[in-house]
Every structure is written in structure tokens, then in C-alpha cells.
């Protein structure tokens, strides 16, 4: 009887702690955005770029810092240009550092 009760209590504590961890991990400032890119400015060294996008839901302009090489190469090669519909995920860390920056349109 005691082992069943302790197993149930352990399971409940484990479930509650895992849910608390999951909500705190997602609430650390990650945001998503879908909207057209208004402008993009490459840094002089070419290792970063700053893009301004307009959120299609709130119509608010958001500035995102891009540092990943693949996206920077696409911007340099004009595969991502002003006016493209962009789906972005970024960290709200003061600089809005991008985690994912892709065209919303398919092939």
C-alpha cells in the first residue's frame, strides 16, 4: 500500500515539475512573426544583418538581428529581398536575435 502511494506521489511530483519546466522554457522570450520585410541592412563586416519586418497581425514594425551564415548568404545572393513574406522566430533579448528566418512562400 505504501509503495503504491509513494509511486503515485512521485509520478504526480514528476508531472508537475516537468510542466513547470516546459512553460518556463517557452516563456523565456521567444517570439514568432509572419510579415513582409521592409528593409535589410548588412553590417560592414558581412557577419550580421538587421532586418525590419511588419507583423501581419499587429501591423507593428519589428527589427530583427540576423547572424546565421545560411540566411546571410541568401540575403547577399538576393534570394531574400525587400517585400518578401518572411516567417521568423526570434529571441526577445534586446537585440531580437533571429533563431529562424525563412520565406513563408513554398517552392
Give me 86's grid cell.
Answer: 518572411
Give me 49's grid cell.
Answer: 544583418
The pLDDT assigned to 3 comes to: 79
CA distance readout (Å), 10 to 5, 16, 72: 9, 10, 48
User: Which tens digit of pLDDT belongs to each residue from 12-24?
Assistant: 776 766 666 555 4
Give me 106's grid cell.
Answer: 513554398
Provide the percentage of residues in the chain whose pLDDT is more than 90: 65
Give me 95's grid cell.
Answer: 537585440
Topology of domain 31-103, CATH: OB fold (Dihydrolipoamide Acetyltransferase, E2P) (2.40.50)
Q: Where are the domains of the chain?
A: 31-103
The pLDDT assigned to 18 comes to: 67
Amino acid at each position: 500500500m505504501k509503495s503504491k502511494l509513494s509511486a503515485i506521489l512521485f509520478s504526480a511530483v514528476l508531472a508537475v515539475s516537468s510542466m513547470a519546466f516546459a512553460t518556463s522554457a517557452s516563456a523565456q522570450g521567444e517570439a514568432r512573426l509572419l510579415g513582409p520585410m521592409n528593409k535589410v541592412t548588412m553590417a560592414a563586416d558581412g557577419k550580421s544583418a538587421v532586418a525590419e519586418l511588419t507583423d501581419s497581425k499587429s501591423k507593428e514594425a519589428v527589427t530583427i538581428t540576423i547572424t546565421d551564415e545560411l540566411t546571410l548568404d541568401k540575403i547577399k545572393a538576393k534570394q531574400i529581398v525587400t517585400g518578401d513574406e518572411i516567417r521568423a522566430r526570434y529571441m526577445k533579448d534586446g537585440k531580437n536575435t533571429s533563431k529562424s528566418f525563412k520565406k513563408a512562400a513554398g517552392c
